[in-house]
């Protein structure tokens, strides 16, 4: 294959990955703010949703794109639900909020998922008047200096660290300061962040309810799919909406 053909294939692949992203940057006279909520979302819960909503309000974000990780770099040695299941749950949880969208950018990209690769792709896709805000937990802020190409992440995006009430931010601030990297970080206190995905998985496995911890749509999906060792229903749930096969993307 010629160099020209390889380059064209790379461009076509990049175009496919960004096809479900919001259109921003049309007006060159204004600045747009795009929130990126990355995570495994196994499962997505109300803490994620409240954090994204508060980031929209406090930081003036135009939209938040939820990006389920395809093959999470820090969970290669753990059992994780399939990317399609996690993408489907994220779609269901965010469907009723007009400022929330979901992207397959990491689900469809082959290989191990690294945040810097996603931010690079987003930066190349949007014009310079679109600012990137990467939303994560304050615990992750402490570890971010060990992420792949952390210095480049600092150049590409403003970090948003969501914290639970009473969380000691000094360790996060100290970690960032000691890194010598010029991170731009905003911290948000989010009451609902006392919830965690690992707690939800444990509750399902022990037969406890998830109601009011995640959306009813996600709860129903978990039960129908038998995720996290939930008791399976007596029937097999059909893939009526094409969620398991990429939301009918072959027909698009």
The pLDDT of residue 5 is 40
Tokens 């010029």, located at residue:
182
Domain residue ranges of the chain, discontinuous segments joined by +: 29-236
Helices assigned H by DSSP within 109-215? 115-125, 138-143, 150-156, 170-179, 197-205
Task: List Cα–Cα distances, 21 to 17, 101, 128, 163, in angstroms.
Answer: 9, 8, 16, 27
Peptide bond before residue 118 is cis, with ω within 30 degrees of 0? no
The pLDDT of residue 13 is 58
The pLDDT of residue 235 is 65
Phi-psi region of 46 (alpha: psi -120 to 50; beta: other; left: phi over 0): alpha
The pLDDT of residue 210 is 93
The pLDDT of residue 164 is 81
Read off the pTM.
Answer: 0.84
- Give the Cα separation of 238 and 247 in Å (integer): 13
Low-confidence ranges of the chain (pLDDT < 70): 1-13, 230-252
Q: What DSSP designation does 70 have? A: S
Q: What is the CATH number of domain 29-236?
A: 3.40.50.620
The pLDDT of residue 11 is 44
The pLDDT of residue 75 is 85
Which pLDDT tens digit goes with each residue over 39-73?
999 999 999 999 999 999 999 999 999 999 999 88
Q: Could you tell me which of 41, 169, 27, 185 has the C-alpha nearest to residue 100?
A: 41
- Give the Cα separation of 100 and 84 in Å (integer): 18
């Amino acid at each position: 294959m010629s160099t020209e053909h390889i380059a064209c294939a790379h461009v076509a692949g990049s175009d496919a990955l960004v096809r479900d992203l919001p259109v921003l940057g049309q007006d060159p006279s204004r600045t747009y703010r795009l929130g990126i909520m990355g995570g495994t979302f196994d499962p997505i819960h109300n803490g994620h949703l409240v954090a994204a909503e508060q980031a929209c309000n406090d930081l003036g974000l135009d939209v938040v794109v939820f990006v389920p990780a395809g093959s999470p770099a820090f969970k290669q040695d753990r059992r994780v639900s399939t990317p399609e299941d996690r993408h489907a749950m994220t779609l269901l949880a965010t469907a009723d909020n007009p400022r929330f969208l979901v992207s397959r950018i990491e689900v469809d990209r082959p290989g191990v998922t690294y945040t810097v690769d996603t931010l690079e792709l987003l930066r190349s896709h949007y014009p310079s008047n679109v600012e990137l805000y990467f939303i994560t937990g304050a615990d992750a802020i402490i570890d971010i200096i060990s992420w792949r190409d952390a210095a480049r992440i600092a150049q590409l995006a403003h970090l948003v660290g969501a914290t639970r009430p009473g969380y000691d931010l000094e360790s996060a601030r100290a970690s960032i300061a000691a890194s010598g990297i010029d991170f731009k970080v905003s911290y948000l206190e989010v009451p609902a962040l006392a919830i965690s995905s690992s707690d939800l998985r444990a509750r399902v496995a022990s037969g406890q309810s998830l109601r009011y911890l995640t959306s009813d749509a996600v709860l129903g999906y978990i039960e129908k799919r038998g995720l996290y060792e939930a008791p399976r229903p007596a029937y097999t749930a059909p893939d009526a909406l094409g969620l398991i096969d990429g939301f009918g993307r072959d027909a698009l």
